[in-house]
Amino acid sequence: MTSFTANGDEGKPRTPDAADLVACLSPEVLTRFTSLACQLLGASIAGIAVIQQQGLRIQSSTGLSHAEMTKGMVFFESTLQASELLLVPDTQLDARFSLNVLVTDAPEVRFFLGVPLHMPSGLCVGALVIMDTKPRSLSDEQLAAMLNLAALLVQCAKNPLFTTTALHQQPAAIKEPIKGLERLTSYRAHAMVMTNRSGEIEWVNDGFTALTGFSLAEVLGKRPGAFLQGPDTDPLTVKAMQKAIQEGTGFHVRVINYTKSGSPYWIGISCSPTMDDEGVVDGFIALESDVTEELALRQQLQQQKNFFESIFQSNINAITVLDKHGKLIKVNRGAEAILGIEEHKLADGSIGYSDPVWQITDLRGLPIPAEQLPFSLLQAGKELVTDFRHNIVWPNGDFRSLSINGAVLPDTELSTPQYVFSIQDITEQLRLEQLKSEFVASVSHELRTPLTAIIGGIDLLQTVASALPERMQKLLRMSQLNAKRLHALINDLLDFEKLSVGKMDLRLEPMSLTALVQQSIESMRHYPAANQVQLSLQMASVEDVRVVVDERRFIQVLTNLLSNAMKFSPINGKVMIEAFPIQHNRVKLWVHDEGPGIPKKFHRRVFEKFAQADSCDTRQRGGTGLGLAITKQLIENMAGSIGFESEEGKGAHFWLELPTAENGP
């Protein structure tokens, strides 16, 4: 063990003062001081070490054994070098202590305060240290109290009544010098009360007077309950305190007391017995603090907790919370119904999201790899999981289709992350969508065959239309137009349903962008509005660019954009196609028109199915309301993207972004 002399003056002869704390103070007295230090700061660990001839030795400890406290000798050694105080709010942030075994292992000390013990001669003879397992800061009053406590400890060492011999000769003599604790009366953060074995007050500090309004002279020799308790004081708590005093044990309670003026307040009392040198209880020390505001805050927090719990339980969606291992730790009533589990059965941590009770598959019934599940995606760093659709299948074959949204629970005070998921049962929704899809497909197919025959017959009649009366020719043209519009609607419905259920087969391959644009323009040659607009191209910068697309479907996309541009352009208006390469091996293609533009309030609905900015105008110009919705899904299925810019009265400008052959799939 390291050998010390006062103030680090090695080799100099020691003065008699250096051994006073060991020679004069009994272990019981020193233990009182470490216990009192813990009470004053609300800490869990305290110790006193003294410099002896053999080195620095632990003489008293509270919260740890002497052997355990010895592992933290660096705290005492560092305190000896301090002039007055050594305060470390967080030991993990201080290189001197962060690797000490008391910090890295149990009890995991995070806070430390050291007070050097100086004898009247100025000689440093030891150190008082206080530790806690949570980082914390101290007020000036608390620091002053610790300095007073250290000074009192040294004063007791110089008082003959505190010597080990005196204690054995006159055990009761310790009661008088204990009044030296009046040095602590300036410490007002807590009320302190000292009583005899019968619970009668022998001393109170200024904190007690400030809290209750009673002075020491008014309460001396009285029992605290005789004048502090009132009508709202819990009789069961009073009975428990009285029993503890009778049995000579300590207690920790919260109870309503009354001030001298009759005002009620909540008080937290931590009471510990004091022992004489024979180990017999000879009094009590109580540390008291006003917890009225604390309890009011707790009540407010509990009300908020109850409010949010009510929202949590009544939410229409199922909500679950998972721990870092994927185990369910909380579910609401909706989740109990969907998942078939009860919250009270979660306590043992045996039920997880990926649980043997059920199998997780995609909507087609195929297993989903564990790393692709919502919980794994969030664990891997994904910020949010939205509308993750899958089935959970029970052993008997029953299943539910679910849509899941998930996120990491935003609570920085948690030591480990937790994950919250909102679950919607979409089983019935998908069943109805499937029925609708099958109905639309069936009706569309049933209509397509006779409609094709009708269109063929009308086209045949058109070859001899000139021989028919003008009124019949007009009706024939109207029939042909409506039949083709109905045919386009049926085709759009079938395409949209295929895209919705993922049954649209695309054959992606590198194609010349210029050639695709030219084919699209050629297919528009017989479009009714083609002769009313001027079409121009600016494609020089992408002349040799190839894009990875499905040829037929890309032409469908581009012709839809061109037909809209022509449809809404004024007579002799201009429609321009331009394209240019952009970063990341992609190309951007624009279709500009000079039409009325798209109203701002309609922007967010442009790509919705059956959406029409002006239904009357759209019906006059033709269209199914599905074109842009289909266009968006097609282009996204080809790893592209689509968007637009438009200001009302200044035309519409739609754009496509596509991967080039160098960056294609």
* 272 or 614, which is more confident: 272
In this prediction, residues 271-299 reach a mean pLDDT of 80
Q: Are 147 and 280 within one domain?
A: no
What secondary structure letter does DSSP report for 488? H
pLDDT at 14 over 60: no
Residue 210's H or E segment, with its range, is: helix 206-212
Same domain, 212 and 127: no
Residue 181 lies inside a defined structural domain of this protein: no
Q: In what order do the strands lie in the sheet with 86-88?
A: 55-62, 45-52, 124-132, 111-118, 86-88
Provide φ and ψ at 233, rounded to 5°: -70, 130
Please state the rounded mean pLDDT for residues 494-515.
80
Between vectors from CA 335 to CA 334 and to CA 339, what angle results, nearest 5°?
130
Looking at residue 187, its pLDDT comes to 53
Which of 153, 194, 185, 217 minimizes the C-alpha distance to 282?
194
584 band by pLDDT with thresholds 50, 70 and 90: confident
More confident residue, 33 or 13: 33
Report whether 595 contacts 610 (CB < 8 A).
no
Distances in Å between the Cα of 150 and the Cα atoms of 8, 143, 146, 196 are 20, 11, 6, 24
Q: Is the pLDDT of residue 160 over 90?
A: no
Is 303 part of any domain? no
CA distances 297 to 58, 303, 575, Å, are 41, 10, 68
pLDDT reported for residue 202: 87
- What whole-number distance in Å separates Cα of residue 578 and Cα of residue 237? 85
SS3 114: strand
Any domain includes 415 = yes
Region 515-521: mean pLDDT is 91
Q: Which of 376, 407, 425 is the last residue of a domain?
A: 425
With beta carbons less than 8 A apart as the criterion, state whether 358 and 342 touch.
no
* Stretch among 38-42, 424-428, 502-506 having the lowest mean pLDDT: 502-506
Phi, psi of 501 (to 5 degrees): -100, 10
User: What is the pLDDT averaged over residues 16-34?
Assistant: 65
CB atoms within 10 A of CB 392: 21
pLDDT at 45 over 90: yes
Mean pLDDT score across all residues of the chain: 80
- Rounded percentage of the chain residues whose pLDDT exceeds 70: 83
More confident residue, 521 or 54: 521
For the cut 80, the answer to whether the pLDDT of residue 596 exceeds it is yes
Question: Do 322 and 455 reside in the same domain of the chain?
Answer: no
Looking at the structure, tell me whether residues 420 and 476 fall in a common domain: no
Q: Is 293 helix (H, G, I), strand (E, B) or coil?
A: helix
Beta carbons within 8 Å of 488's beta carbon, 6+ residues apart: 624
pLDDT in tens, 467-483: 778 888 888 878 877 77
The CATH number linked to 17 is 3.30.450.40
Q: Is there a single domain that holds both residue 478 and residue 520?
A: no
Question: Are 23 and 149 in a shared domain?
Answer: yes
The answer on 121 and 66 residing in a single domain is yes
pLDDT band for position 619 (50/70/90)? Answer: very low
In angstroms, the Cα distances linking 475 to 71, 448, 467, 620 are 104, 22, 14, 17
Q: How confident is the model at residue 163 (pLDDT cuts 50, 70, 90)?
A: very low
174: confidence class by pLDDT, cuts 50, 70, 90: very low
> Any bridge partners for residue 533, and if so which?
573
| 198, part of any domain | yes
How many domains is the chain partitioned into structurally?
A: 5
Hey, what are 12's tokens? 């100099």
Tell me which amino acid residue 196 is: N
Who has greater pLDDT, 171 or 130?
130
Mean pLDDT of 45-64: 84
Strands 281-290 and 251-258: unpaired
Q: Which two tokens stand for residue 235?
A: 């009789």
Q: Which CA distances in Å does 343 have to 171, 304, 375?
A: 59, 21, 19
pLDDT for residue 219:
92
Query: Rounded mean pLDDT of 266-272?
Result: 86
Same domain, yes or no: 151 and 247: no
Q: Give exposure, 4-14, as e/b (b: 16+ Cβ within 10 Å).
A: bbbeeeeeeeb
Q: pLDDT: is 104 or 504 the higher one?
A: 104
CATH number of residue 407's parent domain: 3.30.450.20
Which structure tokens are listed for 602? Answer: 């309609």
DSSP 602: G
Q: Would you state the pLDDT for residue 616?
A: 47
Q: Are residues 24 and 60 in the same domain?
A: yes
Q: How confident is the model at residue 179 (pLDDT cuts 50, 70, 90)?
A: very low
Q: Are 330 and 343 in contact (CB under 8 A)?
A: yes
Residue 376 lies in a domain: yes
Q: Which of 123, 117, 195 is nearest to 149 (CA)?
A: 117
Q: What is the bridge-based pairing of β-strands 573-582 and 586-592?
A: antiparallel
Give yes or no for residue 231 having a pLDDT over 90. yes
Q: Tell me, what amino acid is at 557?
A: V
277 part of a folded domain: yes
User: What average pLDDT score do residues 152-164 get?
Assistant: 59
For range 181-193, the mean pLDDT: 61
User: What is d(CA 257, CA 331) in angstroms, rounded to the nearest whole number?
Assistant: 41
Amino acid of residue 179: K
The pLDDT tens digits of the residues spanning 318-340 come to 888 888 888 888 888 888 888 87
What are the DSSP calls for 306-356, one per residue?
A: HHHHHHHHH-SSEEEEE-TTSBEEEE-HHHHHHHT--GGG-TTS--BSS-T
Q: Give the pLDDT confidence of 199-222 residue by residue, as tens digits.
A: 899 888 888 998 999 998 899 999
- Cα-Cα-Cα-Cα dihedral sign, residues 243, 248, 251, 256: positive
Counting residues of the chain whose pLDDT is more than 90, the rounded percentage is 19
Is a pLDDT exceeding 60 seen at residue 97? yes
Measured CA to CA in angstroms, residue 571 lies from 566, 575, 615, 617 at distances of: 9, 11, 21, 16
Over 50: is that where the pLDDT of 664 sits? Answer: no
Residue 516: pLDDT band with limits 50, 70, 90: very high
Give the pLDDT band (50/70/90) at residue 180. very low
pLDDT at 128: 93
Alpha-carbon distance 373 to 58, whole Å? 56
pLDDT at residue 21 is higher than 80: no
385 pLDDT above the threshold of 50 = yes
Q: Is the pLDDT of residue 453 over 60?
A: yes
Among 476, 500, 524, which residue terminates a domain? Answer: 500
- Position of tokens 């002006």? 614
> Mean pLDDT throughout 391-407?
88
Q: Quick one: pLDDT at residue 166?
A: 38
Of 372, 367, 370, 320, nearest to 346 by C-alpha is 320
Q: Is the pLDDT of residue 64 over 50?
A: yes
> Is residue 560 domain-shared with residue 579, that is, in the same domain?
yes
Give the integer Cα–Cα distance in Å for 599 and 647: 7
3-state secondary structure of 110: coil
Range in 222-226, 291-295, 501-505, 547-551 the model is least confident about: 501-505
Reply yes or no on whether the pLDDT at 267 is more than 60. Answer: yes
pLDDT at 411: 59
Expressed as residue numbers, the domain containing 61 is: 6-168
Query: What's the CATH code of the domain at 627?
Result: 3.30.565.10
- The 3-state DSSP class for residue 614 equals coil
Dist. CA 568–CA 649, nearest whole Å: 11
Asked which of 168, 200, 216 is the last residue of a domain, the reply is 168
Structure letter (DSSP) for residue 182: G
Looking at residue 488, which CATH number applies to its domain? 1.10.287.130
Distance, in Å, from the CA atom of 504 to the CA atom of 498, rounded to the nearest integer, reads: 5
Secondary structure E strands in 343-496? 359-361, 384-393, 399-408, 419-425
Q: pLDDT digits over 400-444, tens only? A: 899 999 998 875 455 567 888 988 999 998 888 778 777 777 776
- Per-residue confidence (pLDDT) for residue 469, from 0 to 100: 84
The answer, yes or no, to whether residue 24 has pLDDT greater than 70, is: no
In whole angstroms, how large is the CA radius of gyration of the chain?
43
Identify the pLDDT of residue 416: 67
| Residue 622 pLDDT | 53
Contacts of 246 (CB under 8 A, 6+ apart): none
Q: Is residue 177 part of a domain?
A: no
Give residue 53's pLDDT band: very low, low, confident or very high (50, 70, 90): low
Summarised one tens digit per residue, pLDDT across range 484-499 is 777 777 777 777 777 7
Side-chain-side CA neighbours of 469 within 13 Å: the count stands at 3
Same domain as 158, residue 10: yes
- From CA 516, how far away is CA 546, in angstroms rounded? 10
Is 310 part of a structural domain of the chain? no
269 shares its domain with 162: no
Whole-number pLDDT of residue 610: 62
Please state whether the predicted TM-score (pTM) of the whole model is above 0.75: no
